[in-house]
Amino acid sequence: MAQIRANNVTFSYEGSPDPVFCDLSFHLDSSWKTGLIGRNGRGKTTLLRLLMGGLSHEGSIVADTAFDYFPYALTDADLASPAEELAAAWKPGIQSWEILTEMNQMGMDAACLYRPFGELSHGERTRLMLCVLFAREGEFLLIDEPTNHLDGAARESVKTYLAAKKGFLLVSHDRDLIDAVVDHVLVLNRETVEVQAGNFSSWWENKERSDACAVSENEKHLREIRKLRAAADRSRRWADNNEGTKIGFDPVKEHERNISTRAYIGAKTKKMQARVKSYENRMAREIAEKEGLLRDIERPVDLKLFPLAFHKEVLIRADHLSLRYGEGKPLFEDISFELKRGDRLVLTGGNGCGKSSIIRAVLAQAGVAEGMAAPALPHTQGMLETASGLIISYVSQDTSHLRGGLRDFCRVRSLSESLFLAILRQLDLGRGQFTKPMEDFSEGQKKKVLLAASLLAPAHLYIWDEPFNYIDVFSRTQIEKLILTYTPTMLLVEHDVRFRETAATKEVRVGPKI
């Protein structure tokens, strides 16, 4: 069992005024199944790149093991090559039988290894890359967001596969996945880093308990500081007033005083001033003990939503609906459902079954052109109706169109800049990001831009297509609470099992008839 140690690692990107890491230190065992947890923008992917040796940094990273990284780099030209050839380039010296052994454990068809990579579905590509990753023993594997865009069946396959493995560091915001496959967590807190045995749920429980204890201790120190400050102020005022009586007195009114009384008053004042100094020293100790108590506490702010009330009960009705592109085979047939006021309907099904196509068809029917290209619109058969006058707020799963600065984004979408930036702050996007081009944002930060714009737009219906890809756990819980509080009418595609259990009121399975 090899050790992986980071000692006082400091790193910042060129041109950035703030470091991503400052004196980061931790150690891991290469046999652990470790989950890497942290909010968007905390540097999770950057840490993986540092471990791979791809970035210059201060401090040291010492490891007695080799690393490999998921996902492998892929170009457009690679899509025409058989997966077997790509695997040989990704992991030189690997044998096909080693990959096939892993594919068998993953439950994949062996033929996928010999097909052009571009012909594989997104889920098949992801799972095949993971099989190549684990095909050689003796490496510590760095896995970055393996389940984004995967359907439920593919996620279950990946979860079962990883649960049987060891020796990896996994970045994922999928709570169900982390709970099932890790035995340790490496947590990038606001100011510190910690390593803890257990899975996501055990860490979350410990964090809530620790945070509650820290808040209670902080309140105790604040009460003590207030008491000491009040006592010090009283003693200081008494000493100041008493000191002023040392010189001069009225012998008629103060007949008991004489010149020798000055020494007594001076001694008493000195004693009171010493008491003030003692109070001040105790306050300093209390303040010092209070320092740092709340430094790692996350403070998710309650978000607000502005749903509009619609005058009709049914907003969307589909009856025996089928969709196809061009003259191709129907994606599905005979889907029927109703979306009523207050419903939160989640479309489920495998990758490529037509969930996003239903959303495209609904947007086209409602006259919403945002993010839609005319050639990409599906041909519908059966009935699909949307209520007239429906105002829709849409979040696409694609973030590649985000370019330029946030202020330009607000201007194009006619958003209130101050409110928009305030929502991004509530979603923990740092102020330093406000001046950067969105091309430099992480995928999670880009998705927060789209979600913030949707939250700011009053609407009858919110249509979100895989909104939680790359979004950190804290922001997910914020949005879940928001939905349960304001109960908007929603049509969603989302594979997060925990979210569906918490927030969905209806599920519609999309796919071919069996």
| Mean pLDDT of the 364-385 span | 73
Could you check whether the bond before residue 116 is cis, i.e. omega within 30 degrees of 0?
no
Q: What are the tens digits of pLDDT across the range 157-212?
A: 999 999 999 999 999 988 899 999 999 999 999 888 999 999 999 998 998 888 88
| Tokens found for residue 106 | 């993953």
Alpha helices in 305-405 (DSSP H): 355-365
Angle between helices 83-90 and 122-133 (to 10 degrees): 40
Q: Look at residue 64 and tell me whether its pLDDT is greater than 60.
A: yes
Q: What are the tens digits of pLDDT across the range 299-318?
A: 778 888 989 999 999 999 99
pLDDT of residue 447: 93
CA distance linking residue 185 with residue 207, whole number of Å: 12
CA distance linking residue 426 with residue 359, whole number of Å: 28
DSSP secondary structure of 148-188: TT--HHHHHHHHHHHHT--SEEEE---HHHHHHH-SEEEEE
Q: What are the tens digits of pLDDT across the range 456-486?
A: 989 999 999 999 888 988 899 899 999 999 9
CA distance linking residue 100 with residue 111, whole number of Å: 10
Q: 331 — phi, psi (to 5°)?
A: -65, -35
Q: 50 — phi, psi (to 5°)?
A: -65, -40
Q: What are the tens digits of pLDDT across the range 211-234?
A: 888 788 778 877 877 877 777 777
Q: 112 — phi, psi (to 5°)?
A: -60, -30
Q: Of the candidates 324, 389, 314, which has an alpha carbon nearest to the alpha carbon of residue 358?
A: 324
Distances (CA, A) of 26 to 279, 366, 379: 40, 53, 55
Burial of 53 (0-12, 13-18, 19+ CB in 10 A): exposed
**Structural domain 314-509, CATH architecture:** 3-Layer(aba) Sandwich (3.40)
DSSP secondary structure of 195-242: EEES-HHHHHHHHHHHHHHHHHHHHHHHHHHHHHHHHHHHHHHHHHHH
Alpha helices in 25-142 (DSSP H): 44-51, 83-90, 96-106, 122-133
| 511 three-state secondary structure | coil
| Mean pLDDT of the 401-429 span | 92
Q: What are the tens digits of pLDDT across the range 126-149?
A: 999 999 999 999 999 999 999 887
Q: Which amino acid is at 13?
A: Y
pLDDT bin (cut points 50, 70, 90) of residue 262 is low
Q: 399 — phi, psi (to 5°)?
A: -110, 5
CA distance linking residue 273 with residue 316, whole number of Å: 77
Q: What are the tens digits of pLDDT across the range 17-52?
A: 778 899 999 999 999 999 999 988 889 999 999 999
Q: Distance from first CA to last CA of the chain, Å, rounded? A: 48
8 A C-beta contact, residue 158 and residue 127: yes
- Torsion angle, alpha carbons of 52, 182, 503, 304, to 10: -50
Percent of the chain clearing pLDDT 90 (strictly above): 53
Q: Look at residue 373 and tell me whether its pLDDT is greater than 50.
A: no
Given 3-state DSSP classes, what are the helix, strand and coil percentages for the chain, each rounded to the nearest 5?
45, 20, 35
pLDDT bin (cut points 50, 70, 90) of residue 514 is very low
Pairing assessment for the beta strands 21-29 and 33-37 based on DSSP bridges: unpaired
8 A C-beta contact, residue 139 and residue 90: no
8 A C-beta contact, residue 33 and residue 81: no
pLDDT bin (cut points 50, 70, 90) of residue 370 is low
Q: Can you give the pTM of this predicted structure?
A: 0.76
pLDDT of residue 229: 79
Size of the chain, expressed as the number of residues it contains = 514
Percent of the chain clearing pLDDT 70 (strictly above): 89
8 A C-beta contact, residue 51 and residue 142: yes
Q: Which amino acid is at 67?
A: F
Who's near 278: CB < 8 A, 6+ residues apart? none
Q: What is the CATH number of domain 3-200?
A: 3.40.50.300
| Tokens found for residue 183 | 């035995």
| 121 three-state secondary structure | coil
Residue whose token pair is 């035995």: 183
Which position has the higher pLDDT, 148 or 273? 148
